[in-house]
Structure 1
Amino acid sequence: MFIGRTNELVVLDTLWQQKPTSCILLYGNRFVGKTTLITEFCKGKKTVFFSALPSIYDDNLTAFSKALFSCIAPALFSPPALQDFDTVLQNIQIFSQKEPTVLVIDDFSNLYHCHPDFLRLLANVLEQKQPVSKLMVILADSSNSFMEKTVMSSQSPLYGIYDTSLRISGLSYRDCSQFFPLYSPEENAIIYGMTGGVPLYLELLDSGADLKTNIMNAFFTRHACFSEFPTLILKQELRELTIYHAIFSSIISGSCRLSEIADRVHLETGLCVKYLKALTTMGLIKKETPVASKDQKKSYYTISDLMFRFYYRFVPDNKSHITSGRIFLSYLTLIEDYIPEYMEQVLLDIVKEYFLHYDHHLVFEINQIGSYWSKSSTDHIDLLATDMTNTYGLFGTVNYSGGRPMDISDLQALIEKSKVVTTIEHRCYCLVNRSGFTNVLINKAAEDGVILLTLPQLYHET
């Protein structure tokens, strides 16, 4: 069952319909569903699909030739290996003049590393723009740094030639919930909080099992299906994994500013920045700065990949219990009791996604969304979204673990806190609470235009 990716399919379909020759760069971390998306788009289209091998020139040339002939001459029993990659590309272009064709090269970095000149050959084919041909080229890879720093760089032969790039991440929290139609919004939020909407992770879980069983099988058994993923993903692009593991541990423990991370990992600040940039490029961490503030000194790092965040929050500290099997006896006190605290940040992520993609309340277009904080801990505002000019703003309080309905005092506290941000002229307010709201607050919110949201409403349920 194919779920989500509506926007990406629209981009691909539009280029396919409007341009005789096009090139798309499609990339993202492993397991996010790049190949599944490409396969869905290619349904009903003549497709040369080549998965490049981590091998030498000759092996890739043979495999590419086979992929070509399996498309243009599928009945051929023993297809020959063409003499070079230029010949393969020329044959594909000739075939595309007879029938509209999609050329997909998956794991493209493997081909580039054995034959760097391939980019120039491909650029020559794309620039020819044969008037009677219909050819779309999709280059896909799991290395974000390779695609951004090599294929998309200003020095690349494809620079100015490729039509668009699509960086693929996990599914939205709403699309994620379609994998578990019997789960409640709260249970689906937790599933999202431990998978980040990555399709492979979702498929490895059992939609017929209860939430605890899925959490245990994913992270807390000796052969947990998610336990190897962090190291596997890091190994693809990075070395010195011990340092990267230490950085994740530092961030999840609360030592998340640059100086704190450098001290915790025992690195010079300048060297630490390089490691942090590598993780940022991979989309595993991100640098947070307060919305409506230009003070970079207030910034800190968070783990943006939710599977990594869940893993480093719960697995390393409980490794002995997991290995010995004692985690089954202590799951309640070591894991379950701390999930509400963990879900505070996840709920904030969900709320930000809601206002960016699903909300119809706001009268302004969001330019920046995040949190606000200053040197004073009392000035922290969970949610702040502003327009391009910082004259319109949405202030919000987001609560998952409070365990009580919000009341008038929570709204008053938010309004008072918001006064610290003086640049916003037009203000609106939002309260998000897993435990709902008192009737008095509901009536007051209706009068004053305050947005109240619970998990069922975030998941579009009433």
Structure 2
Amino acid sequence: MTFYDRVDELDTLVDDFETPGHDFYVVYGRRRVGKTALLKEFCDGRPHIYFLAAQEAEARQREKFVETVADHFDDRVPRIDGWDEAFSYLGEKIAQERCIVAIDEFPYLVDENDSLPSYVQSFGDEQLQETDSMLVLCGSSISTMESEVLGHESPLYGRRTGQIDLQAFTFQQARDVIAYDIEAAVQSYAITGGTPMYLTLFDYSRPLGKNIKQEILSPTAVLYNEPAFLLRTELRTPGRYMSILEAVATGNTTPSEIAGASGIDSGPLSKYLQTLRRLRLIDREVPVTASSKQSKRSRYHVDDEFLRFWFRFVEPNRSSIEEAPAVVYDETIEPNLSDHVATTFKDVCREAVWAAIRRDDLGPYSEVGRWWYGEDEIDIVGLAPGDDRILFGECKWTNEPVGHGLASQLREKGERVRWGPDTRDEEYALFSRNGFVDGLADDLGDDWELFDLSRIGEILYSDN
């Protein structure tokens, strides 16, 4: 499989490994996000021991680990009775040869022996530090990695020399994979999101609709049950969490709305929301002009485009999909797909704003986000506190070109945004799927920027 992007992460690992001295890295992130691919690309062509842990008995895990170490050094497999001896053996070997030691799915080992971090601590303090080798602990269970490896209570706290919290691809990064034109690429990204495995399952020589039918709506397809699988691997009782995710995916964004739609009381709901945030499945957002800690105007959204698509279109229609998937696509998904994509388009436009800032086409602005108050909402607001400058932007994923009406509405809403002095400088931007009416650019003036899909694609491509 082709290895995409991850240039910064790969360069960081390579630079640190090639610098004298030991290294202890922690690589973690959600399942399917490409951690193993990154590790294998890093290890390729360099001396390494790669061990993939499995969900099996501790004794067998330890046996396989020692066998992997012995095989790398062409050594007879020693008799080992505990993890302390296993890591001591590893330490003796890497004292003779500089190499990478990558332990993938480390949480599986911790599940069988919660003392394992202590053994790794002893190994790091007593043996690894005396070498030029690198230890990499990798895991998909974010809760385990954050508590047992990165947490204050962990024996490993403070030992790491670096960490990589691997994120899904942004739209800009995913364009290397999505071989559609810019319009279809935005639509496709709104379905797969930036998870590398999901992106690479689509065949971009086929129409988008066919990809949806074959890779998501088929009961035998990997993505058909993927979210349920992900939740079961992280949570003991996934049912309530699925109800919350479905509620948020279908447009319930405030705690009271989520409680009403999911049937979960507001008291326990807060704990469930915190867990889903920790697992990067949902995110909390406040208006860009507000304090994230103090604002009571928070909204929640599903923090993954594929999960948002699945909980909106697949989970509520499972019975019908089992009987007639094509009918579900034709009657339910296709008519509502533009509305779904419109949300993703706003995120793509925010990426374009940051890219335009880096190119000096806009701003600069130090913060970019959404703003809302009461019935008013603005898709993009950029803040430059040092210059008393503010940017207002609207994004439209419609079949019609944007005209003067939207521009007038944006000006009016911008006047109601309380931020900065009365003498603040104001800039405006419009983003449109289908361009703009003739003469709009001339009528609006120099404080307006217009972005059609062609310009958005050019900005993101040149910034990549």
Q: Please give the TM-score of this superposition, normalised by the length of structure 1.
A: 0.91
Post-superposition shift, 1:280?
A: 0.9
| Deviation per residue, 1:254-285 (Å, 9 max, x gap) | 33211222233333322111111111111111
Report which stretch shifted further, 195-204 or 351-360: 351-360
Q: Does the alignment pair 1:397 with 2:398?
A: no
In 2, the alpha carbon distance for the partners of 1:14 and 1:171 equals 22
Q: Which residue number corresponds to residue 90 of structure 1?
A: 88
> Which residue of 146, 150, 161 maps to 1:148?
146
Q: Determine if contact 2:286/2:299 at 8 Å carries over to the other structure.
A: yes
> Which residue of 100, 103, 106 maps to 2:104?
106
Q: Which residue number corresponds to residue 312 of structure 1?
A: 311
| Deviation per residue, 1:7-35 (Å, 9 max, x gap) | 21122223223351111111111111100
Post-superposition shift, 1:329?
A: 4.0
Q: Which residue number corresponds to residue 298 of structure 1?
A: 297
Q: Which residue number corresponds to residue 456 of structure 1?
A: 454
| Deviation per residue, 1:86-137 (Å, 9 max, x gap) | 3332333343343321111111111112232322222233234777621111
Q: Determine if contact 1:205/1:218 at 8 Å carries over to the other structure.
A: yes
SS at match of 1:290: coil
> Residues 81 and 63 of structure 1: is their aligned pair in 2 closer, same or farther, counting only changes over 3 Å?
farther
Q: Determine if contact 1:292/1:390 at 8 Å carries over to the other structure.
A: no
In 2, the alpha carbon distance for the partners of 1:168 and 1:130 equals 25
In 1, the alpha carbon distance for the partners of 2:129 and 2:150 equals 26
> Residues 239 and 391 of structure 1: is their aligned pair in 2 closer, same or farther, counting only changes over 3 Å?
farther
Q: Which residue number corresponds to residue 25 of structure 1?
A: 26
In 2, the alpha carbon distance for the partners of 1:330 and 1:195 equals 18
Letter in 2 for 1:53: A
> Residues 19 and 271 of structure 1: is their aligned pair in 2 closer, same or farther, counting only changes over 3 Å?
farther
Q: Which residue number corresponds to residue 362 of structure 2?
A: 362
> Which residue of 393, 408, 411 maps to 1:412?
408
In 2, the alpha carbon distance for the partners of 1:162 and 1:126 equals 9
Q: Determine if contact 1:22/1:126 at 8 Å carries over to the other structure.
A: no
Q: Which residue number corresponds to residue 385 of structure 1?
A: 382
Q: Determine if contact 1:53/1:59 at 8 Å carries over to the other structure.
A: no
SS at match of 1:296: coil
* Aligned ranges 1:6-405 → 2 under 5 Å: 6-18=7-19, 20-73=21-74, 79-128=77-126, 133-181=131-179, 183-294=180-291, 296-325=295-324, 327-329=325-327, 331-357=329-355, 359=357, 360=359, 361-367=361-367, 369-375=368-374, 377=375, 379-387=376-384, 391-401=388-398, 403-405=399-401
> Residues 95 and 354 of structure 1: is their aligned pair in 2 closer, same or farther, counting only changes over 3 Å?
farther
| Deviation per residue, 1:279-306 (Å, 9 max, x gap) | 1111111112111024632112111111
> Residues 428 and 358 of structure 1: is their aligned pair in 2 closer, same or farther, counting only changes over 3 Å?
closer
Q: Determine if contact 1:217/1:225 at 8 Å carries over to the other structure.
A: no
Q: Determine if contact 1:26/1:34 at 8 Å carries over to the other structure.
A: yes
For structure 2, the 5+ residue unaligned runs are none
> Residues 156 and 407 of structure 1: is their aligned pair in 2 closer, same or farther, counting only changes over 3 Å?
same
Q: Which residue number corresponds to residue 428 of structure 2?
A: 429
Letter in 1 for 2:429: C
Q: Determine if contact 2:190/2:309 at 8 Å carries over to the other structure.
A: yes
Q: Please give the TM-score of this superposition, normalised by the length of structure 2.
A: 0.90
CA RMSD for the aligned pairs? 2.3
In 1, the alpha carbon distance for the partners of 2:230 and 2:385 equals 36
Runs of 4+ in 1 over 6 A off after TM superposition: 129-132
SS at match of 2:222: coil
SS at match of 2:191: helix
Q: Which residue number corresponds to residue 442 of structure 1?
A: 441
Q: Determine if contact 1:407/1:440 at 8 Å carries over to the other structure.
A: no
Q: Determine if contact 1:66/1:81 at 8 Å carries over to the other structure.
A: no
> Residues 83 and 320 of structure 1: is their aligned pair in 2 closer, same or farther, counting only changes over 3 Å?
closer
Q: Determine if contact 2:429/2:448 at 8 Å carries over to the other structure.
A: yes
> Residues 179 and 124 of structure 1: is their aligned pair in 2 closer, same or farther, counting only changes over 3 Å?
same
Q: Determine if contact 2:321/2:328 at 8 Å carries over to the other structure.
A: no
In 1, the alpha carbon distance for the partners of 2:436 and 2:177 equals 29
Q: Determine if contact 2:117/2:148 at 8 Å carries over to the other structure.
A: no
For structure 1, the 5+ residue unaligned runs are none
SS at match of 2:97: coil
Post-superposition shift, 1:432?
A: 0.8
Post-superposition shift, 1:36?
A: 0.1
In 2, the alpha carbon distance for the partners of 1:306 and 1:136 equals 35
| Deviation per residue, 1:113-171 (Å, 9 max, x gap) | 22323222222332347776211111111111111122111111111111222221222
